[in-house]
Structure 1
Amino acid sequence: MSKAIDGFLEAEEAYVVRSSATAEDLPTASFAGQHDTVLDVSGHDEVLDAVSECMASLFTDRAISYRKANDISHDDVAMGVVIQRMVDADISGVLFTADALTGNRTIASIDAASGLGEAVVSGTVTADNVRVDKQTNDIIEYRSSHSEDSMEFSDQQRILRDEQVLRLVSYGNRIEDLFGPPQDIEWSITNDQVWILQSRPITSLFPVPTPAPNDDGLHVYYSYNHRQGMIDPMPPLSVDYVRQYTMWTLENLFAYHPSEFTSVAGAGGFVYLDVTPMLRSERLAQKWLAGIEEMDEPGVVPQREIVECRGDQLSSAPAVGDGSLRAYLGAIRTFARTAAVGGARTVWGLLNPNYEQFPSKVRTEYEQHVEEAIISIQTAESESDRIRRTVSETSKFGWTATKQLETTAGFISRRILRWLCPDCESEFEALDKGLRDNVTISMVLELGDLADIARESPAVAEALESGAEIDEIRDLEESTEFVAAFDRFMQTYGHRASSELDPSQPRYCEDPSPLLSTIRSRLAGGCSGEHREKLNQLEADADVAIARLEDIADRGFFGSIRRRLVKPLASRYRNYKSTRETPKYAYTHLWAEFRRQVLVAGERLEREGQLQNVDDVWLLQLEELLTALEDPEAWEDLNIDLESRKAEYRAHRTLRGPRVITSNGEIPRGTSSPDQDDSGLVGVATSSGSAEGIARVVHDPRTQQIEEGEILVCPYTDPGWTPLFLNAVGLVTDVGGVFSHGSLVAREYGIPSVVVDGATDRIETGQRIRVDGDAGRVEIIEETP
C-alpha cells in the first residue's frame, strides 16, 4: 500500500482521505458521519496515517452502535479508503434532490457556505439555503445566512449566483436519474468549476405511494392505518392483502375505483387511500373532513391546508373508472344497490320491535358467515387455492357487513333524542357507557372472570404469579375449572391480536402470554367481581340518565307524548351502538385464517428451499407468493432480493408514517392550535371524567403490561389492546378521535381518555399524571422518581 500511495502522490499537493465501507450508502442506512474523513493532508507519512485512521474508524463506538441499530453484521463489513486530490474550494455545500423537511420530490434544497464543505456537513457554520422547483427551475426561496428575512438582501450577500444554483440542480437531476432514489450530494466550486465529491441516497425520506397515479395532477393520500388507529408499518404481504380488501370494498360498495386502482396505494408499510376526488369538491370535502375529525382529528389539518393553499393543483382525474358514460352508469348501479340495502335496513331498524335481540342476532349471523367462509377456504385443494379463496372471502365480507347499516337507526334515534332533550350532554355521555353487548366489552368482562376463577384456586394463582405458561398450568390438579374457562375464552377470542389488522402479527391462540399477564396483574391489584360491579354501575347510571331525559322531555307542549318516546329511542340507540365492534370481531377471523394459510405455505417453501425462513413469506407480494407455490421456475426468474426487502421493512419501522402524503412525496404538516399550555398537554377529549395515577407508556401489549390503577399511555389502541383496559383508570393515545376504537371502549368502560399528538414521546413511565377527559388535557403532576 505504501508504494501504491507513493506512485499516486504529487509533491506540494493536498489530499482528502475518505472512508468507504461496504455497508455505507445503503438505501436504508447512509452511515453519514459514522466513519472518518481526513482533510488537507500531504506527503507520504500524513496520507498513510490518514488511511490507517479511516480503516480503524470501521470499529469506532459510533459505527458499531449504528450497525447494531440497523441489524448489520460486524463480520460482513469491510473498509475501503479513497484518496482524492483536495479541491481548494471557493464555495462548498450539500444538495438534496428532494426537500428533506417536507419530502417533496419536486423541490431541490441546497446548503452553501464559503470555503470547504466539511463545515456545512458538520453543521459548524450557518449556510445559505436555497429551495428550487425542479419542474420549472424557479428559485422558490433563497435564505442568506446574513439576513433574517428570506429574499430580503442584496446580491452581494448571496454565496451562490442564480446560474450556479440552477447548474447544481441540473447536475443533481442527472445524478438522481442515474441512481434512482433522491440523492444527498456533496459538491464544491472552484473558479466557477463544479466538483461533485460524493452522492448517497437520502435515507430519511418516507417513500412515495405506489402505484403512482397515471396523470400529472397532485394527488392526496390519507392513511388507512391511522383511520384504523394502527400506526405500525406492515410487511409487504400484509400491505398487499389489506390493499386488495380495501380496493374491493371501494369498488363494490362505493363505486370508487380510478383506472389501475390508484385509489389505494402502499408506502412505507402503510396503506393509503387517494382522497383527491373528495377534496377537490367543496361539498364532499366538508363531509369527508367532518367524518375524519371524529376518528382522527389531527388528520384534518394537513388535508384542509392542501385544499386552501393548493386546491387548484389537485388532479381532475375521474373518481370512477376512466370517466366514460359506461363507468358512471356502473357507479350509479353500485351506489343505488348500497343505498337501497342501507336504506331498507335503516327503516327496519327504526321499526323493528325486537331491536333488543339485534346485538346477539347480528353476532350470530356474522359468526355463521365466517364459519362457512373458513370451511370453504380449508376445503380448497392446494395452498395457493386456499390463499386465493381467503382473499376472495375477505373481500366479499365487505358486502355481508352492510347488514350493519341497520345500526344507522340507532344514530337517528340519538338525533331525535337530542331534539327532544337539548343541552343534556352528561345524560348522553351516560348513554354511551355500560354497553354489555359490545363484543370488546364482553372480552374484558370474560378476562376479568378468568382472574376471579384463578383467585379461587391458590395453586393456579400462585402459578400465574410466578410467570407460568398455560401448558404448565394445565398440569396442575386444581386447574380444571380455570383451564376450561381459558379454553372457552380462546375459542371465542383467540383470533384477536395486537395490531390485528396486520395478518403478520401473532394471534392470542398462538401466543396467549399477554392475556396471562393481564390476569396476573389483575390478581395482584383487583378484587373479585369488581369488573362486573363497575359495568352494573354504568348500566344503572344509564337508566338514571334515561329517567332524567324523560323528565326533561315531559316539559312543554305534548310533554306526555314526548316522554313516552324517550325510553324506546334511548334503548334503540344503546342496543344498536353496542354492535359497532362486531364486524371487526368477525372479519378478523378471516385475517387470522389468512395468516394461518400463509404460514402453511411459507413452511412448504422453507422445506423446499425457496425461502430460508418461514417468516420471510411476509416479505413477498401476493402474486409472488402464488408464483412460488405454483411455478418454481418462474419464481427463480423473479430473482427477488429478500435481504434487501428485509432491510427496507426494518427501515420502515424507524420512520413515523404520516397521516397524509401527496403523490410527489410531500408530507403536509399544517398548523394546528397550541398543544401545550400552563395546565398541561392539550389534546382531544374522547371520554369524559378525570383520573389521576402513574403513567405507564406501552408500545407493545404483548410484552408490556399495566398494573391496577395506572394510566395507559400508548400510540393507539385496537381490540388487541383491550385486555389492558381491565387495570387502567385512564387512557392517553397518540392518535385517534371521538369514534376511534380506544375512545369508544374507554367511554363504554367508563374511563376518561384524551388523544394527545406525540403523547408517548412527551409522557414518561412513572410520572404521576391527571387525565381530564372533559377539557381534553393531560397534566403532569409529579416527575418520574
Structure 2
Amino acid sequence: MTTQYILDAVEAAQVDTDLLGGKAENLALLTRNGFTVPKWWVLTTEGFSTQLEQLGIKDWVEDKVKLLAGEENNKVIAGIAQEIQAEIGKQQLNDEIIQGIRSAISAEVLARTSFAVRSSVVGEDAEGASFAGQMDSYLYQSGENAIFTSIIKVMQSAFNHRALAYRIQKGLDLSDIRAAVIIQEMVDADVAGVMFTAHPITGSRQHALISSTWGCGEGIVSGICNTDETTVALYNDDVDTSINDKDTALIFDANGTHGTIEVPVEEVRREIACLEKSQILVLRDIGLKIAESYQMPQDIEWCLKDGHFYILQTRPITSLPPINAATDDVQVWDNSNIQESYCGVTTPLTFSFANRAYKHVYEQTFRLLGISEKVVQENQEMLNNMLGLINGRVYYNINNWYLGLQFLPSFKTNKADMERMMGLTDPVDMIQDKQLSFNEKLKKLPQIFKALFTLLSRYRKMDTLVAEFRSHFQQVYSAINREQLHTLTIGQLINKSKQLDAEIFLNWTSPIVNDFYVMTMNGKVHRWLEKVSVEYPDIVQNNLLSGEEGIESTEPAKFLLRMCGYLRQHEEIKNLVLEGENSKLLSLIQTCDPQFYSQCMDYIERFGDRTIGELKLESITLRQDSSFMFAILKNFLANPDLSLESLAKNESKFRKEAEELVYPLIESKLGRRSLRKFKTDLGKLRDAIRNRENMRLARTRAFGLFRSIYLEIGEQLAFYGKIDEPRDIFFLSIEEIYAYKEGRSIHTKLDTLIAPRKQEFASYEDNDLPHHFWTKGAVYCNNVYEYPHQDEDLDLNSEHLKGTGCYPGVVEKNIRLIFSPDDELSLDGQILCTVRTDPGWAPLFPTAGGIIVERGSTLSHSAVVARELGIPAIVGVPNLTKILTDHEKIRMDGTSGKVERIEVSDND
C-alpha cells in the first residue's frame, strides 16, 4: 500500500496526472523526453489526502476553504489560512508515507544527498494559472528529519494566504485543493537562472530571454540577486546580453545542516557574464526543444554545474504583452471616403453584402483590363479583403487598394489621383511603384497596352456605356415586384437575391470604369491648374465643377420643391402637412388629397431608397417610414424664398467666375491649343462626375431591392420563431443566411447567435474610431485603433478650424449639429454641421445657409451637391462635431475652408 504514495520519475510518467500535480507532471514529461533533470520522486496527491485524513481534518479543511468563495478581504483570507496551516502542522508525517520514502530512496542517498522539497498542486503550472511563487519550497534539505519536516511545511503552504488569495483571484475551485510534493536531488549550481522561450517584455515569439546569476536560482525568484539579461534569437545566433553588477549570490549554507545563505560575489566576477555565448546557444536550443514538446512558450528554471545544464522545472508562459509585429505586417485602414456610404456602426449583413459586392466589381475590372484569369485567381486574398469591419465600422483596406492599383499603368500617378479622390489626408508610402527591370517591363508591355487601350476606348464611349448600364439596370429593377415578395418562400427569396446579385453586380463594369475616369480626369485637371500656378487650385477646381445640370443627386430636393409649389397653392393641405404628425401624414393625405398623395407615392417610388445611410441595409427608408419626407417638406415650406428658381440663380455664378480666371491664364501661359485641351479635359471631368452621381442612384435602388428581400426573409424567420424579430436578420452575414438555406450552418440556433452579436454591436455605438489608423499582426488582437496625431489635433476650445473649401461664400450664422433622420431637422438658414453625408442628405441642403462636414473630400457627395445647389460648403474639418456645440454662432468661408467661432462655448 505504501508504494502508491511515493513514485519515482519512471513510475510518475505512467499514472494519472491528477496524482502528480502540475509541476511533477511537467517533470515527468521532461524526463520522458530525455532532458537532463536532477533525479526526483513525488509524494502523490493521495498521500496528501491521507495525511489530512489521519489528522481527521480533511472535511473540516474543505468546509473552511468553501467559506472563502468570492472573499476579497485579505484579513479574512489570512485568518482562515493560519487556522488550516496550524492544524496541518500539529502532527508528524504519516507512517505509510515515511515508509514509502524510505523504500523509494535508499538510506545512503537520504544521508549523503541534499534535496529540494517543493509543491506540485493540481492545476499548478497550467496555461491559465502558474501559481508561481504562491507555495513554499525548501532547498538543500539533508537527512530524513529535515525532509519529513519540509514535506509538512509544503503541505501547509498549499493553504497559505498567498495561495488561497490567488485561487480566489483566478476563480479556481476552492473545494478541490490537492497537492503533491516533489523531492528532488539538489544540484550545487555554479550558475542558475530562468529562461523564457518567448520574450516576456517585447512579446516576441522569435526571441528568448535568459536571466542568469551566480549560485542557485532561488536568488532570482526571491529578488535577492541581480542578473545578467540575455535576449537570444530562436532561429539564428543573434545574442544581446546586458551584464549587471551581481554583487550577491545564494549558495548552500555549509555551516548549517540545510538551506541557503547569501554571500558576496568576488569583485572579479561581479561584472562579467555568467554565461558564454556558446553556452547561451546550447541553453537556447534546449529551451526551444522543450517549448516544441509542449507546442507553446515555456518559463524554464535551469542551472549549470561543471559545464552541464540541468532543467529543474518548466511551466507554460501564462501572459505575454502584445507582439510588436514586423513592419511588413502593418495594415493601414482609412474611411475618409467610404464612411459617406457606411456611416457609424454597420451591421454584419450590410458589411458582408458590401464586401461581396466590392469583390465582384473589382474582379470584373481586372478582367476588363485584360488581366489573366490566373492572376485574378492568384489575387483572391486581396479581392476578398478590399474592406474591413472594425468595431462595427467599415474601412478601406488601403494596402489592398494600392496593390490593386499596381495592375494599372503609371501606378504613382494613379496612386496620387486615388488619394485625392478618396480624400486621404494621410497618404501611405509603404507601397511604391515597383521598379521593373528592362526585361520585366518588356514582358509587361502587352498587358499595359491592353489595359490602356481598354480604358481609353471605354472612356471615349462613356456616355454610351452609361446609357446602356442604366437601361439594363432599369430592366432588372422593373422585373421585381416588391408587393409580391411576401408570397415567396425563404428559399425562393434567397434565390431571388442571388439572381439579382448576378444580374446587377456582375454587370457593374461601367460604374467602376467611370470611377477610374473621375479619378484620372480629376487628377489631370488638377495638374493643369498647378502647371499655371493658380492660387488655391482646389477651390478654383471646385468652382469650375459647380453649376452642372442633370445630376440626379439633386433631383430629390428639386422634386420636393415642386411638391412645395403645389402645397403653397393649396392652403388646406399645406396646413395639414405643417401641423400633422410626420409618421401619420401619408395616410391622412391619401384621404384628403389624392392628387398630392399621388405625388408623395411617386416620390417614394423614385427616391424612397435615397435616405441618410442609404447603403446600409438596416437603414429605415421612406418605404418603411415616410416621416423624413414630411420633415423636409416642412423645412422647405418654412422658407418662403426657397424655390427652384432661387436655386437656379446661384448654380452658374461661381463657375463663370472661375472660368474667367482660369481660361485667360492658361491661354497666356501655355497657348490657345493648351486651353482647348484643358476645356476638353474639364468637360470630361464634369461629364464623369455627373455620370458617377447618376449611376450611384442606381446603386441606391439596387440596395433598396436587396433590403426589401432581406426584410421579408426576416419577417418569415420571425414568423416561424427562428429569430426574435424581423430586423434581427441584419445581424447575420450573407454567408450565414445562404448556409442556413443550403444546410451548411455551423450554428443553426439563429436567435442564440444573434443575441450576443446585437449586444456587441450596441457596445460599439458610443466608441467612435478615427478615420485613419494602422494595425500590426492580427487586426483584432492587441491593436489600439488610434490616429497617430489625434491628441495633437484635438483642442476642444479652439476658436479657429480649417478644412477644404468646396463652394465659395461667407456665412455667419448659428449651426445645427445633425447626425441622423431622428434628429430635429429644422434648419431655416442655419449652418448644417455633421460628421459625414451621403446622397440621402441632399433634401436637407436647400434650407441650409452653409454646410460643413467633418469627413470627406472635394469629390464627396456633399461637395458635389452643395456645388450644384450653390450652397457654401467646407469638408474635411478634423474633430468638427467634437469642438462645435449645437446652436453656437460661427463664420464659415467656403473659399478658404476656414471656420471661426464667434460665440465660443467652453467645452471643458
TM-score range, shorter chain: 0.5 to 0.7
1:645 maps to amino acid: R
8 Å contact kept, 1:686–1:773:
yes
In 2, Cα distance between the equivalents of 1:625 and 1:288? 37
SS for the counterpart of 1:483 is helix
1:136 alignment partner, one of 206, 209, 217: 206
In 1, Cα distance between the equivalents of 2:816 and 2:314? 55
Say yes or no: does 1:716 pair with 2:836.
yes
Question: Cα offset for 1:343?
Answer: 0.6
1:373 alignment partner, one of 456, 470, 476: 476
> What CA deviation, in whole Å up to 9, does each residue of 1:89-134 have, x standing for no partner?
999xx99xxxxxxxxxxxxxxxxxxxxxxxxxxxxxxxxxx95233
2:534 alignment partner, one of 420, 423, 447: 423
In 2, Cα distance between the equivalents of 1:16 and 1:774? 70
In 1, Cα distance between the equivalents of 2:327 and 2:637? 60
In 2, Cα distance between the equivalents of 1:675 and 1:681? 10
1:701 alignment partner, one of 811, 821, 824: 821
8 Å contact kept, 1:225–1:271:
no
Aligned to 1:460: 573
Structure 1 residues 762 and 535, CA gap change in structure 2 (3 angstroms): same
In 2, Cα distance between the equivalents of 1:298 and 1:6? 69
Say yes or no: does 1:542 pair with 2:652.
no
Structure 1 residues 556 and 655, CA gap change in structure 2 (3 angstroms): closer
Aligned to 1:614: 726
> What CA deviation, in whole Å up to 9, does each residue of 1:347-401 have, x standing for no partner?
456xxxxxxxx5xx77754442222223566699922210211222342242142
SS for the counterpart of 2:891 is strand
SS for the counterpart of 1:581 is helix
Aligned to 1:233: 345
Question: Cα offset for 1:753?
Answer: 1.0
2:873 maps to amino acid: P
1:768 maps to amino acid: K
Structure 1 residues 272 and 696, CA gap change in structure 2 (3 angstroms): closer
User: Which moved further from structure 2: 386-395 or 404-413?
Assistant: 404-413
Question: Cα offset for 1:551?
Answer: 4.8
2:456 maps to amino acid: G
Aligned to 2:620: 506
SS for the counterpart of 1:580 is helix
Aligned to 1:189: none
SS for the counterpart of 1:641 is helix
- Unmatched 5+ residue regions in structure 2? 1-57, 81-158, 171-199, 210-241, 246-287, 297-312, 435-439
Say yes or no: does 1:291 pair with 2:418.
yes
1:401 maps to amino acid: P
SS for the counterpart of 1:485 is helix
2:501 maps to amino acid: V
SS for the counterpart of 2:202 is strand
1:396 alignment partner, one of 488, 494, 506: 506
8 Å contact kept, 1:15–1:41:
no
2:885 maps to amino acid: E
Structure 1 residues 377 and 285, CA gap change in structure 2 (3 angstroms): farther
SS for the counterpart of 2:902 is strand
1:276 maps to amino acid: N
1:267 maps to amino acid: L
Aligned residues: 616
> What CA deviation, in whole Å up to 9, does each residue of 1:631-652 have, x standing for no partner?
4998748996221222222233
Say yes or no: does 1:444 pair with 2:554.
no
* TM-score, with structure 1 as normaliser: 0.64
2:361 maps to amino acid: T
In 2, Cα distance between the equivalents of 1:407 and 1:290? 9
Aligned to 2:601: 487
8 Å contact kept, 1:237–1:618:
yes
2:758 maps to amino acid: K
Aligned to 2:331: 220
8 Å contact kept, 1:460–1:473:
no
In 2, Cα distance between the equivalents of 1:576 and 1:260? 29
In 1, Cα distance between the equivalents of 2:897 and 2:208? 44
1:276 alignment partner, one of 382, 399, 424: 399
1:514 maps to amino acid: F
Aligned to 2:787: 669
In 2, Cα distance between the equivalents of 1:138 and 1:466? 74
Structure 1 residues 582 and 556, CA gap change in structure 2 (3 angstroms): closer
1:670 maps to amino acid: P
Question: Cα offset for 1:219?
Answer: 5.0
SS for the counterpart of 2:843 is helix
Aligned to 2:389: 267
1:715 maps to amino acid: V
In 1, Cα distance between the equivalents of 2:835 and 2:377? 32
* TM-score, with structure 2 as normaliser: 0.57
Aligned to 1:738: 858
- Unmatched 5+ residue regions in structure 1? 20-36, 46-83, 96-129, 140-152, 157-169, 179-192, 206-212, 315-324, 350-357
Aligned to 2:630: 516
In 2, Cα distance between the equivalents of 1:675 and 1:284? 31
8 Å contact kept, 1:546–1:566:
no
8 Å contact kept, 1:695–1:769:
yes
8 Å contact kept, 1:770–1:778:
yes
Structure 1 residues 333 and 461, CA gap change in structure 2 (3 angstroms): farther
In 2, Cα distance between the equivalents of 1:428 and 1:509? 38
1:748 maps to amino acid: E
In 1, Cα distance between the equivalents of 2:525 and 2:842? 26
Identical positions, percent: 16
8 Å contact kept, 1:363–1:582:
no
2:361 alignment partner, one of 225, 242, 249: 249
1:752 maps to amino acid: A
> What CA deviation, in whole Å up to 9, does each residue of 1:22-53 have, x standing for no partner?
xxxxxxxxxxxxxxx555446999xxxxxxxx
8 Å contact kept, 1:14–1:41:
no
Structure number with the bigger relative contact order (C-alpha 8 A, sep ≥ 6) is 1
8 Å contact kept, 2:493–2:713:
yes
In 2, Cα distance between the equivalents of 1:558 and 1:639? 70
> What CA deviation, in whole Å up to 9, does each residue of 1:172-193 have, x standing for no partner?
x99xx99xxxxxxxxxxxxxx9
> What CA deviation, in whole Å up to 9, does each residue of 1:733-767 have, x standing for no partner?
23212222222323333322132222222221121
8 Å contact kept, 1:227–1:296:
no
8 Å contact kept, 2:813–2:891:
yes
> What CA deviation, in whole Å up to 9, does each residue of 1:135-182 have, x standing for no partner?
23579xxxxxxxxxxxxx9989xxxxxxxxxxxxx9xx99xx99xxxx
Question: Cα offset for 1:619?
Answer: 1.8
Question: Cα offset for 1:523?
Answer: 1.9
In 1, Cα distance between the equivalents of 2:557 and 2:564? 11
Aligned to 2:867: 747
8 Å contact kept, 2:338–2:396:
no
2:613 maps to amino acid: S
Question: Cα offset for 1:781?
Answer: 1.5
Say yes or no: does 1:655 pair with 2:655.
no
Structure 1 residues 467 and 537, CA gap change in structure 2 (3 angstroms): same
In 1, Cα distance between the equivalents of 2:666 and 2:853? 37
8 Å contact kept, 1:465–1:520:
yes
2:422 maps to amino acid: M
2:726 maps to amino acid: V
8 Å contact kept, 1:240–1:621:
yes
Q: CA RMSD in A?
A: 5.4
8 Å contact kept, 2:336–2:855:
no
1:516 maps to amino acid: F
8 Å contact kept, 1:754–1:771:
no
In 1, Cα distance between the equivalents of 2:644 and 2:208? 64
8 Å contact kept, 2:347–2:761:
yes
